[in-house]
Structure 1
Amino acid sequence: MAVVAVVVHHDRPRAAEVAATTIDWLRGLGHDVRVPTEDADRIGRPELAVDDRDLAAGADVALSLGGDGTMLRTVSLVARSDVPVVGVNFGHLGYLTDVEPDGVQAALERVLAGDFRVEHRMLLAATVRQAGEPVREVVALNEVVLEKTTSGHTVRIDVELDRARFTPYAADALIVATPTGSTAYAFSARGPIVDPTHRALLLTPVSPHMLFDRTLVLDDDAVVGLTVGEPRSAALVVDGHSLCELAPGDTVTCRAAGHTARLVVFGPRDFHAILKAKFGLADR
């Protein structure tokens, strides 16, 4: 029997309803289901609750019920254990989800029968150092961001590329993104759209107060070092979640992670068609 991790959007009642029926169906077939503690409380299934750190251990597949944000959270919980993720879309047109709500059971039947393929997406690994000491390791599917904390002021970020000094940026924020993240925050800062299965690091400034305002597209073995410069602090935001505030002198080192996000797909995923639909691009 399989072990299925289920992650649920906290504010979408329809996602909670589908989670409940899917969990009952899976358990009726003899499969083991586990749910992050906060999600289990939200859907009224505390008996299935596990700590976030234990969610992926021994899991065969993870089911993400929400939108792209829920997919980002699910990937962050299970990617280190190479657990494949089935994304179910309860939001608007998603870049990451591959299944509609009425197709959940059919999708899981195919997964449990081995009738699927995995699309690998590059992840960012970031090491955070405060006062010279490593304090945190984080993984991102979309992006790692250092941004200003004070309205009306920029943040200064000194950048190293492959441990060689590059240049300081004065900007509202500086984004290190994956190809998957090229259609997220980096896109709103006029960064390039990159096919999500490509491997590269994108360094994109947000509203830079300098003449150089272009995105750098770096090789996937590049190491990007970010140091918060004087005189102001910066907020560290990973995949849309604010993690902490960094003081001048604190650093974040970004590189491609040694593992990938494993997204379950059931056929060719037409990224160009998704772009056309997302942006209302017409055929000529």
Structure 2
Amino acid sequence: MQYVAIFAKVHDPRCQKVASELIAWLEQKGCTPLVDPHLTASLGYPRELSEEEIRDQAEMVVVLGGDGTLISVARLFSGRDVPILGVNLGSLGFLTEITLEELYPRLERCLKGDPRVSDRMMLEVTVYRDGKQIEKNNVLNDMVINKGALARIVDLETKINRHILTTYKADGLIISTPTGSTGYSLSAGGPIIHPQMNCIAITPICPHTLTNRPIVVPDESIISVTVTSSHDEKVYLTLDGQVGFKLQQGDSIEVRRALKTTALIMSRSRDYFEVLRTKLKWGER
């Protein structure tokens, strides 16, 4: 691999220090670092590229920071089959599971063409208003419909493959990938799903009817959610916790499996169940 992109949590001094060392290491290996423009400004790195130029040229991506930073990078590279190496400089992440101690040995193997990659399914989220498409995005984790701070519960008519599931009366609704099952969905009582499963989880947020439980459907399902609450209710759509906008009564959100996946480079020293035990502190008193 010749072109390696570097993205980092730029406001974290630790990330800036590691990024500087990583740039020098890659150059010594004969690679060309493609540095995130925000990081370029912080480090004073001379070779400045736009995010679009980096996306088009990169053969591999290194992300320094937490899961949120990696998710934003995954959205940028959606549509390109580029492996992403997530390095967490703090506590272990569900997505950024590579530690700083593992970084350079892992990079050595990747540059030799021996990455251990986990292909993660994504969701394609399309928003329709008055029968017209107004928004379309891919997400790695989840899409969330929720009410405003002072709003009453919202009504969300939900169909699967055009068959009515129910009209949720709740604070909101989460539709997540297996990767996103350990995010907001888990906090709302949703199931933990192994990231290699092919399915979609639907989790209501504080449903008015207590028998409305999370449900897992096949990944070929097409899920449609229509906002049926009155005009004076404030309802919002959030994608991967980073992109969002206000919905109106009658807006319809269609969710299906995206054609593209996100390739995450995994640790060779731990498995998914060790990550679960560590992050969720299972077995600790």
Q: Distance in 2 between matches of 1:29 and 1:74?
A: 24
Paired residue total? 283
Q: Distance in 2 between matches of 1:32 and 1:66?
A: 21
State the TM-score, normalizing by the size of structure 1. 0.92
Paired residue for 1:251? 252
- Given the alignment of the two structures, is residue 26 of structure 1 paired with residue 26 of structure 2, yes or no? yes
Paired residue for 2:5? 5
Q: Distance in 2 between matches of 1:266 and 1:282?
A: 22
- Given the alignment of the two structures, is residue 133 of structure 1 paired with residue 141 of structure 2, yes or no? no
Does the residue aligned with 1:80 lie in a helix, a strand or coil?
A: coil
Paired residue for 1:273? 274
Q: 1:269 to 1:199 in 2, by over 3 A?
A: farther
Opposite residue 81 of structure 1, the aligned amino acid is R
Opposite residue 61 of structure 1, the aligned amino acid is M
Alignment of 1:64-103 (within 5 A): 64-103=63-102
Paired residue for 1:47? 47
* TM-superposed deviation, 1:230: 2.4
Opposite residue 193 of structure 1, the aligned amino acid is I
Q: Distance in 1 between matches of 2:283 and 2:149?
A: 41
Alignment of 1:181-260 (within 5 A): 181-231=180-230, 232-260=233-261
* Range with greater deviation from structure 2 (180-189 or 223-232): 223-232
Task: Tell me if structure 2 keeps the 8 A contact 1:235–1:242.
Answer: no
Q: Distance in 2 between matches of 1:109 and 1:6?
A: 16
* TM-superposed deviation, 1:107: 2.1
CA RMSD of aligned residues (A): 2.0
Q: 1:46 to 1:233 in 2, by over 3 A?
A: farther
Q: 1:212 to 1:39 in 2, by over 3 A?
A: farther
Identical-pair percentage: 34
Task: Tell me if structure 2 keeps the 8 A contact 1:37–1:46.
Answer: no
Q: Distance in 1 between matches of 2:225 and 2:46?
A: 41
| Per-residue deviation, residues 56-76 of structure 1 (Å, max 9, x unmatched) | 213210101001111111211
| Per-residue deviation, residues 166-208 of structure 1 (Å, max 9, x unmatched) | 2211111100011111111000111111111111100000001
Opposite residue 92 of structure 2, the aligned amino acid is L
Does the residue aligned with 2:47 lie in a helix, a strand or coil?
A: helix
* TM-superposed deviation, 1:11: 2.6
Opposite residue 48 of structure 1, the aligned amino acid is E
Q: Distance in 2 between matches of 1:33 and 1:49?
A: 11
Q: Distance in 2 between matches of 1:59 and 1:178?
A: 26
- Given the alignment of the two structures, is residue 168 of structure 1 paired with residue 167 of structure 2, yes or no? yes
Q: 1:199 to 1:275 in 2, by over 3 A?
A: same
Does the residue aligned with 2:216 lie in a helix, a strand or coil?
A: strand
Q: Distance in 1 between matches of 2:262 and 2:272?
A: 17
Q: Distance in 2 between matches of 1:64 and 1:221?
A: 31
Opposite residue 15 of structure 1, the aligned amino acid is C
